[in-house]
């Protein structure tokens, strides 16, 4: 049972990462306003329902990316004792 839970977690992480990567690529190419959920899911090779299982909309996805990047930047700049 523990193995299947780990496998599901990895699949979820891969799907989430594919959505994030697809979103970033499309935003770089077209800009945020022209980016659609359909394009994101098509490039990530997932269904729209899968997108909505992870994120409410493209603005929520953007917020997640900004928070994760900010956290990574902050962690890299703080001394190890502060982390």
Is residue 82, in this structure, part of any structural domain at all? no
d(CA 34, CA 67): 22
Domain of 62, in residue numbers: 2-77
Is residue 50, in this structure, part of any structural domain at all? yes
Is residue 61, in this structure, part of any structural domain at all? yes
Is residue 16, in this structure, part of any structural domain at all? yes
Is residue 66, in this structure, part of any structural domain at all? yes
Is residue 69, in this structure, part of any structural domain at all? yes
Total domain count, the chain = 1
What does each of the 83 residues of the chain score in pLDDT, given as a tens digit? 444 545 568 889 999 999 999 999 999 999 999 999 999 999 999 999 999 999 999 999 999 999 999 999 998 888 877 65
Is residue 41, in this structure, part of any structural domain at all? yes
- What CATH number is associated with residue 65? 1.10.10.60
d(CA 39, CA 82): 40
Is residue 83, in this structure, part of any structural domain at all? no
pLDDT exceeding 90 applies to what percent of the chain?
A: 75
What pTM was estimated for this model as a whole? 0.80
């Amino acid at each position: 049972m523990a193995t299947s839970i780990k496998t599901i977690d990895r699949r979820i992480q891969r799907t989430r990462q594919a959505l994030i990567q697809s979103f970033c690529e499309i935003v770089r190419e077209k800009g945020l306003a022209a980016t659609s959920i359909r394009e994101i899911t098509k490039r990530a090779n997932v269904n729209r329902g899968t997108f909505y299982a992870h994120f409410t909309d493209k603005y929520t996805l953007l917020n997640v990316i900004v928070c994760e990047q900010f956290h990574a930047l902050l962690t890299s700049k703080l001394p190890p004792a502060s982390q």
